[in-house]
Amino acid sequence: MKRQESGGCAVEIETERVLREFDAARGERPERCRLSHSEEAQRAEKIARLKSLVRSGDYRPDIKDIARLLTSAMDPTP
């Protein structure tokens, strides 16, 4: 899906919201979950690449991404 020039569609708005929340949550990890400096740099590089693909409209999810989205969307309450 390519970006629309005339503002943001719902998908773009939601994508930007998720990316902002992801960035905000980075500093909130407990000490035991924190990464080393080199691991953090590698992770930041991967995330920047992914953000670039998403924002340009060139991102194509793979089966793991789709499964992750479906799993997170499931309501665990009966």
Structure tokens at 19: 């990316």
The pTM for the full model equals 0.44
| Phi, psi at 34, each rounded to 5° | -75, 145
Query: For residue 2, is pLDDT > 50?
Result: no
For the chain, which residues make up each domain, given as ranges? 10-73
pLDDT at res. 78? 56
pLDDT tens across 9-38, in order? 877 888 888 878 777 766 666 666 667 888
Cβ(58)–Cβ(1) under 8 Å?
no
Q: Where residue 1 falls among pLDDT bands split at 50, 70, 90?
A: very low
Mean pLDDT of the chain: 76
